[in-house]
Amino acid sequence: MNKKIFYAIWLMTITVLISCIAFLMVISYNRYTQEQMIQLRNETELVTRGIAMNRESYLKDLDTENFRITWITSEGRILYENGTDVEGMEVPLEQEEIQGALANGYGESSRYSSVSEKQLYTARKLPDGTIICLSVTLASIWALLARISPVIIAAALAAWWLSRSIAFKLPKKIVEPLNDLTLEEQMSTEKAPVYEEIRPLLKRLDDQYKQIQKDREELERTSLIRQEFTANASHELKTPLHVISGYAELLEHGMVKEEDIPSFAGKIRAEAQRMTKLVEDIIDLSKLDSGGKDMNRENTDLYRIAQNAAESLEAEAEQNQIRLSVEGENTIIAGIPQVLYSIVYNLCLNAIKYSDPGNDVRILVENRDNEAVLSVTDHGIGIPQEELDRIFERFYRIDKSHSKEVGGTGLGLSIVKHGAKIHDAEIKVSSEVGKGSVFTVIFPK
C-alpha cells in the first residue's frame, strides 16, 4: 500500500512540476524574445537615423557590443560590419528580413543558429537604397533549460523525499482509527463514524455479523431439536422392542398356553407394525427436513391425491366404523405428489383415530381463484384450545396412552406441518372438545 501511494504521489508531483516548468518556460521565453525584438527594432531605427545623418563616421563611433550591425548594398555587398573586416564580401539576399526590407523598407525574422542559440534579425532600407541589418544572439530555450536544470533536479528530489515521507505516514494515519474501531460503537447512532465514506462497508459488516449470529442461533436450535428428536425416537422404538422381546421370551420358554399363542403372536405383530409406522414416519420427516430439494414438483391434482389417500385408509375407517367421504373438484397445483399424499393421509388418519365409531370424516378439496384448499373435518374428541399450538411438535400427543392405543407415533402432524411448509401452504385448525375438528391446509396456486 505504501509503495502504491508513494508512486501515485511522486508521479503526480513530477507531472505537475514538469507541466508548470514547461508552461512557465514557454511563456516567459516568448515574452523575452518579443522584448528583445522590440529593442532590436528600436536600435535599428536609431542606427538608420544615425547613418542618414553621419554616414560611416556614425558607425565607427557606435558602441555596439550586443548587436551585430551589417551595412550592405542592395546587391548584398557588405559595406561595413562591426568588429570584423569583411568589407566587399556578399550576404545572401534571400534571407527573410532582407527580402522584407527590399520589398517594404523593413523586415525582421528569427532563426536558431544552433541548439543553444537563437538569432533575431532586422533589416531596414535607407533612402539611398543600401540596407542596414542588425542581429542579436539569444540563448535558446534549451540552453535556458540546461541552465536551470540543477533547480529542477533539486525540486524533483525534494518531491521524491516528500512523497516518500507522506506515503509512509499517510496509510498508518488512515488505517489506525480503522484498526481501533468496534462495530457496535460505529453502528450506534450517537457516535459519528470514523469515516463517513466507510459507513456502507460497516453497515454490510454489521448485517453480516447479525446474520451469522442468527444462523448460529438457528444452528444451535436445530441441533438441539435433532438431539431431542434422536432421544425421543430411540425411546419410542425401545418400548415396542421391549414388548416384542418380552412376548418372544415367554413363547420361547413355553410359558404360553397353546390357546393363547395366537393372541401373543397378534400382540407381537401389532408392536412390530407400530415400529414400522414409526420408522416410516421418521424417514418421511427426515426427507422433509431437507426442504424437499431433491423431490420433483409437478402439476398434481389434489382431489386425486385425496381420493388415493382415502382409498388406502378404507380398511382403517371400516375397522373404526367411520364413514369416509371425499368431496370437491379436480384442483391442480404444482407440488410434490408423495408429500401432498402424506399430508392428506396423516390428517385423515388422525380424523379416523380420534373419532368415535359411527361418525363421519369428510375430505373436501376446493378450487379457488388463487388457492387450493384441503380440509379434513371430523366429529371426534376434539382438541383443547391451549393444545392447538403444540400438537404439531414432534412426538407431542395430548393423551399419550390414547394415542398409543390408536397406533399413533406423535409424528403425523409434524409431517403435515413440514409438508405444508415446503409448499408454502398455511395450516388452520379449528376444534372444539367433544364436537370435532377441522384441519384446513391452504395451498397457494
Write out the residues near ligand ADP by the rule CB under 6 A: 346, 350-351, 354, 378, 380-383, 391, 396-399, 403, 408-414, 437
Cell 540546461, located at residue: 146
Residue whose cell numbers read 399413533: 408
Rounded to a whole number of angstroms, the minimum distance from the CB of residue 238 to ligand ADP is 17
Task: Report, in Å, the least distance between residue 437 CB and ligand ADP.
Answer: 4
Closest CB to ligand ADP among residues 97, 378: 378
Nearer Cβ to ligand ADP (186/350): 350
User: Which CB atom, from 282 or from 391, has the smaller least distance to ligand ADP?
Assistant: 391
Cα(47)–Cα(261) distance, integer angstroms: 152
Kindly tell me which of 13 and 414 has the beta carbon lying closer to ligand ADP: 414
Closest approach of ligand ADP to the CB of residue 412, in Å: 3
Nearest distance, CB of residue 197 and ligand ADP, angstroms:
56
Q: Residue 86: beta bridge partners?
A: none
In sequence order, the 6+-apart residues with CB closer than 8 A to the CB of 102 are 74, 93, 125, 131
C-beta of 247 vs 354, nearer to ligand ADP: 354
| 330 Ramachandran zone, left/alpha/beta (phi>0; psi -120 to 50) | beta
**Shortest spacing between CB 411 and ligand ADP, in angstroms:** 6
Least distance from ligand ADP to the Cβ atom of residue 355, Å = 7
CB under 8 A, 24+ apart: contacts of 27-32: 29/141, 29/144, 32/138
For residue 306, the tally of other CB atoms under 10 A from its CB is 26
Provide the terminal-to-terminal Cα distance of the chain, rounded to the nearest Å: 56
Closest to ligand ADP by CB, 144 vs 398, is: 398
Shortest distance, position 348 Cβ to ligand ADP, whole Å: 9
Sheet containing 106-114, strands listed edge to edge, beginning at the edge strand earlier in sequence:
78-81, 67-72, 131-139, 117-125, 106-114
Cβ closest to ligand ADP, residue 100 vs residue 410: 410
Q: Which is nearer to ligand ADP, 318 or 399 (CB)?
A: 399
Cβ at position 199, least distance to ligand ADP in Å: 50
